[in-house]
């Protein structure tokens, strides 16, 4: 599960969360040279809020302060 908290002027907004399940690419759809662990990017984003700070958390001790995440 990934979560983001947005703070503006010292006030915290509600925490947004999303669950992500990444399934392996089925064998029938893989190219012969594509390893099984290759996957598309995961894009997470919060609405842009002027003057806001962002605090992301997630699996494997993931943290970030960017508005947009490309994992």
Distance CA(57)–CA(13), nearest Å, equals: 15
pLDDT (0 to 100) of residue 28: 65
pLDDT (0 to 100) of residue 50: 92
Residue 16: closest CA among 62, 56, 50: 56
pLDDT tens readout for residues 11-59? 999 999 999 887 776 766 556 655 655 666 788 988 899 999 999 999 9
Token digits for 56? 């992301």
Confidence of residue 10 (pLDDT cuts 50, 70, 90): very high
């Amino acid at each position: 599960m990934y979560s983001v908290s947005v703070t503006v002027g010292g006030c915290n907004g509600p925490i947004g969360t999303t669950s992500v399940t990444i399934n392996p690419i089925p064998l029938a759809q893989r190219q012969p040279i594509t390893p099984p662990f290759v996957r598309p990017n995961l894009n997470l984003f919060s609405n842009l809020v002027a003057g806001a700070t962002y605090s992301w958390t997630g699996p494997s001790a993931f943290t970030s302060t960017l508005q947009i995440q490309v994992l």
